[in-house]
């Protein structure tokens, strides 16, 4: 793995912020576990892509940008939405297909939107949202609002034409986009090493003269630090930056995945790097938290997730009469 140019210092993170990062990862983990449980109990249908194992990427990166920077993501986006502060109850309600869901029950797991929180959606056409990220960034650039776009996608996206079109345009127009590739080595059941001529994804970006580096996506502080530096550069008007977060999903591609394509040992090796376990250990060693704090955090996220699930369960289903609502925006 390419080493970061600078070691993470995180000197600007106080105790509260460090605990927030841990809480964020724990919330995502617990939310996803609950979603899996609800899927098994047939409260949730369709595709459900869990983020378990990759929490450090969302928590670190999203904490390092401003609350009004746009986020646009792929279909494995529950973690990104939660890290942005989207209400867990409304996310769960969306998974349940309820009227109160963030997308009114029209989108489901792969299409969470919360425009008020500048969360511009989850997209399920691999690489299809990268061009949109360019447009959001172009709007920011022209409006001079100082905001950047964090565009998140998987390693599977890098062999799509839209990836290359978007990187080239962002570079040539110096658009304020921070491209963040979550390289978990698999696109569904396909190992990146079997289908990519260049497996170091960040090198693809360098081919477009975009500054790019690899980050340890299992370490929330490294994610935070690298994103902070990248965001600073993007915001300065020098054009896009590309981060490749090395990470791993501990679960199958979706709930329907029998995982016949990868070895149990490989998954086990990555589980040893569990971003929550390792960060907890670090914070305990550094004396930032103790066992009691951790227990309290666990109880807290448990409560949030239970409350979210209760909210989803009790929410009304969309009435069939509302089927045609939102096909078009009414004339303004």
Which residues are at the interface with ligand TPP (CB under 6 A)?
A: 76, 124-126, 154-157, 182, 184, 186-188, 253
Applying CB under 8 A, does 107 fall inside the site for other proteins? yes
* Contact code string over 201-230 relative to Mg ion, x by CB under 5 A: ------------------------------
Residue 156 vs 211, nearer CB to ligand TPP? 156
Residue 196 vs 318, nearer CB to other proteins? 318
* Contact code string over 267-306 relative to other proteins, x by CB under 8 A: ----------------------------------------
Distance, CA of 103 to CA of 77 (rounded, Å)? 14
**Partner that binds at residue 296, options ligand TPP, other proteins, Mg ion, none, CB closer than 5 to 8 Å by kind:** none
Q: In the set 70, 185, 242, 248, which binds other proteins (CB under 8 A)? A: 70
CB 104 within 8 A of CB 326: yes
Question: From the CB of 135, what's the least distance to other proteins, in Å?
Answer: 2
Q: Residue 72 phi/psi, 5° resolution?
A: -135, 135
Distance, CA of 164 to CA of 191 (rounded, Å)? 20
In the numeric block, the tokens 């899927």 are attached to 39
Q: What DSSP string runs through 235-293? A: HTTS--EEEEEE---SS-SSTT---TTS-HHHHHHHHTT-HHHHHHHHHHHTTS--HHH
Nearest one of 238, 23, 15 to 148, comparing CA atoms = 238
* Contact code string over 117-136 relative to other proteins, x by CB under 8 A: ---xx-x-x--xxxxxxxxx
Contacts for 260 with CB less than 8 Å, ≥ 6 apart: 189
Applying CB under 8 A, does 181 fall inside the site for other proteins? no
Nearest one of 37, 14, 143, 20 to 96, comparing CA atoms = 37
Distance, CA of 186 to CA of 196 (rounded, Å)? 11
**Partner that binds at residue 129, options ligand TPP, Mg ion, other proteins, none, CB closer than 5 to 8 Å by kind:** other proteins
CB 28 within 8 A of CB 83: yes
**Partner that binds at residue 113, options Mg ion, ligand TPP, other proteins, none, CB closer than 5 to 8 Å by kind:** other proteins
Radius of gyration of the chain (CA): 19
Distance, CA of 123 to CA of 77 (rounded, Å)? 9
Residue 116 vs 291, nearer CB to other proteins? 116
Applying CB under 8 A, does 81 fall inside the site for other proteins? no
Question: From the CB of 80, what's the least distance to ligand TPP, in Å?
Answer: 11
**Partner that binds at residue 188, options Mg ion, ligand TPP, other proteins, none, CB closer than 5 to 8 Å by kind:** ligand TPP
**285 burial via Cβ count (<10 Å: 0-12, 13-18, 19+):** exposed
- Contacts with Mg ion by CB under 5 A lie at 154-155, 184, 186-187
- Contacts with other proteins by CB under 8 A lie at 70, 72, 101-107, 111, 113-115, 120-121, 123, 125, 128-140, 142-143, 161-162, 165-166, 168-169, 172-173, 325-332
């Amino acid at each position: 793995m390419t080493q970061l140019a600078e070691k993470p210092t995180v000197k600007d993170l106080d105790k509260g912020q460090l605990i927030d990062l841990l809480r964020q990862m724990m919330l995502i983990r617990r939310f996803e576990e609950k979603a899996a449980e609800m899927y098994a109990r047939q409260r949730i249908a369709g595709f459900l892509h869990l983020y378990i194992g990759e929490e450090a990427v969302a928590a670190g990166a999203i904490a390092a940008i401003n609350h009004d920077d746009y986020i646009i993501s792929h279909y494995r986006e529950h973690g990104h939405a939660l890290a942005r502060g989207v209400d867990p109850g409304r996310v769960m309600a969306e998974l349940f297909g309820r009227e109160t869901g963030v997308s009114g029950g029209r989108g489901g797991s792969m299409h969470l939107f919360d425009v008020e929180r500048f969360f511009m959606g989850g997209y399920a056409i691999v690489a299809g949202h990268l061009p949109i990220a360019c447009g959001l960034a172009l709007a920011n650039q022209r409006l001079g609002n100082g905001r950047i776009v964090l565009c998140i996608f998987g390693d599977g996206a890098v062999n799509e034409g839209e990836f290359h079109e978007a990187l080239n345009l962002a570079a040539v127009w110096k658009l304020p986009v921070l491209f963040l590739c979550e390289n978990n080595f698999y696109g569904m059941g396909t190992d990146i090493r079997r289908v990519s001529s260049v497996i170091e994804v960040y090198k693809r970006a360098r081919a477009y003269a975009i500054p790019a580096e690899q980050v340890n996506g299992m370490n929330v502080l490294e994610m935070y630090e690298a994103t902070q530096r990248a965001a600073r550069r993007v915001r300065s008007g020098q054009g896009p930056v590309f981060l490749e977060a090395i990470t791993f999903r501990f679960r199958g591609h979706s709930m329907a995945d029998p995982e016949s394509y990868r070895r149990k040992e490989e998954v086990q090796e990555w589980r040893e790097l569990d971003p929550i376990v390792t960060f907890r250990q670090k914070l305990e060693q550094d004396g930032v938290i103790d066992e009691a704090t951790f227990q309290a955090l666990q109880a807290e996220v448990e409560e949030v997730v239970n409350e979210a699930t209760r909210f989803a369960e009790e929410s009304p289903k969309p009435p069939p009469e509302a089927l045609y609502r939102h096909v078009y925006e009414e004339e303004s």
